[in-house]
């Protein structure tokens, strides 16, 4: 079983703070949730209690849901001081690690749907996610 870690990941201007026992799987899922490539900023050993503490500390910068934040430069610097590169699953990687999203064939399918509905690809993906995961927070 993997070590439980608190992680921070950045998708565009938003930063996600969470915890997981399966970092690679969680980051893959975040790419889908965010609809954009996700940069892993780092991890810190810990679980639900540490995550809750950090979420409370940054609550004034909450963007949506309760785990995505619009952080100022100083807040982001403070968060980075708490993080280190994980030993698993990318021991030789340089951080931050960008998780590519989505696969080319799938992206093409979303682009076709976006053109058909006169939407952006991100709007199409978010609508698909919200239809299946209403607990992700406010749109």
Q: Give the residue-averaged pLDDT of 65-92.
A: 80
The span from the CA of 68 to the CA of 14, in Å, is 6
Q: What is the pLDDT of residue 59?
A: 92
How large is the average pLDDT for residues 55-76? Answer: 89
Q: Can you tell me the mean pLDDT for 58-73?
A: 87
Share of the chain above pLDDT 70, in %: 63
Model pTM?
0.63
Beta bridge partners of 40: 9, 97
Query: Of residues 112 and 23, which shows the higher confidence score?
Result: 23
Rounded to whole angstroms, what are the CA distances from 16 to 28, 42, 51, 79, 129? 13, 11, 11, 11, 17
4 C-beta neighbours (distance < 10 Å), count? 17
DSSP string, 18-84: EEES-HHHHHHHHHHHHTS-EEEEEEEE--HHHHHHHHHHTGGGEEETTTEE---HHHHHHHHHT-B
The domain spans of the chain are 5-100, 102-139
Residue 69 in this model has a pLDDT that exceeds 80:
yes
């Amino acid at each position: 079983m993997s070590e439980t870690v608190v992680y921070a990941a950045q998708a565009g201007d938003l930063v996600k703070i969470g915890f997981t026992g399966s970092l690679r799987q969680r980051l893959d899922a975040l790419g889908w949730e965010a609809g954009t490539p996700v940069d892993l900023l780092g991890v810190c050993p810990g679980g639900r209690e540490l995550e809750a503490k950090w979420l409370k500390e940054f609550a004034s910068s909450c963007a949506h849901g309760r785990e995505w934040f619009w952080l100022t430069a100083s807040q982001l610097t403070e968060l980075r001081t708490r993080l280190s590169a994980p030993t698993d699953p990318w021991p030789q990687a340089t951080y931050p690690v960008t998780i590519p999203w989505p696969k080319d064939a799938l992206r093409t399918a979303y682009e076709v749907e976006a053109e058909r509905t006169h939407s952006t690809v991100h709007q199409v993906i978010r609508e698909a996610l919200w239809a299946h995961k209403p607990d992700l927070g406010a749109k």
